[in-house]
Structure 1
């Protein structure tokens, strides 16, 4: 466990989920330094007492524990390994925790480079979307050295409830790929269940009352299906980021010689939404594909 009085937290990525996560750490009484490509996104945190860093380098020089929650693996690589990034400019003894869903191989690379500089790098992707982030109820999947995990666990407990150490560097990202595979196929089932209820002349809201409490229950059924019925497609998690995750999972599965037909189908259907300009919507507009496709 890290002594609280020695901790200055840095947070990079003040987006749909990152803002709430950073706010929980600030509310817990930790000094907070933030960086985001768009400073306006951090305005509320700055008003509450967070400090602004002009670059990841500036943040690395000020913070002893850094969380990152950004969009794509190339963003992660630039933030961690770039000339003005975290690892080349971080302090020995620092902890860097990447909560972005990213490539397992990149997590291993970051861990190895950080280790050379006396820094602990941990991959800790999350599941739970905007709701889980706001309520500090995220599921957190952790890869890295066990001792490093134990040292930062009290910080992670401000962000989530289900926090599981999965193993060496990259294990957290591999676990998140399993999570995304389960969600992708489940979303097909959720949408088809709603469409079936509608076509059968049922009240889909009443149907949800029955099936969410039974064996069909899932996070997507309980949290996203009501949004679908209300026509609320605001992002708790962007389609563009989900497609990125599915592509990583497909590539990893291919590398392991594994076929993932359910995942591949889901990605092809989400690709149709991108073609319709929905990449910045939440994942729930997926139901519109089912309503227009032949099987729907």
Structure 2
């Protein structure tokens, strides 16, 4: 474990085309730049092919496309050999709304609010009459019916796959659709009829209820293990403002990590201050970057740009 607080970090955007092994090759060069820590984009299992990793599908596993857990541990050893620590990005607010890759979500769509995983996701079942809208269709349902087909216990639509409620696979298609815990709909309906919390207006990312202690434990176990075993040293928390109670989450996280160095992606307004009750080392620096960018901005042009924006 590296107990030093980072003095400077170098962010690496990991993806299938730039996995842990590629980052490991770059370690000597990055160490020569004088940074103290590498800042890694999300390392947990994500939608296959994702180039950013914020669409997590399994928080209990290190992403295989990046080299898996052994790849991460090898990168950590290489960084340590050069005197560098690791800070990793974690995403407590949401997971990928892609059932075929997100097994907990698959089970919720199959079994509804009675699923053991129902407490994971921020779904308002009552608002949808006991069902939740999945805004994935390219047009109104009637126009898309020819593209829907039943494949055993799975409903398929182009490259999408959805679980079927037990015992419904033999129903005629209209009745089968009405019998599910979800309602397939035109993507435009997400603006007015969505029944789950999402990341801003991104319907492909569904909100996670980390305010539930059991959900917190299930979604943070792997990261806490990596911290405990000294594979990583600090955390960057993505979008804490999306959480039901950011302060309570951060206090729970501080207790679970033993007070490890943590920063938050908190975008502060000009007159806003980071809550003093949050047990973090600070923000990820957007507020500082805004001031640095201002040095390179001609204020005389601001009014014209603002007028065009409006």
Instruction: Name the TM-score, length of structure 2 as normaliser.
Output: 0.29
Q: Between Structure 1 and Structure 2, whose CA radius of gyration is higher?
A: 2
Q: Which has the higher contact order (CA 8 A, sep 6+)?
A: 2
Bigger strand fraction:
2
Q: Whose helix proportion is higher, 1 or 2?
A: 1
TM-score of the aligned structures, taking structure 1 as reference length = 0.30
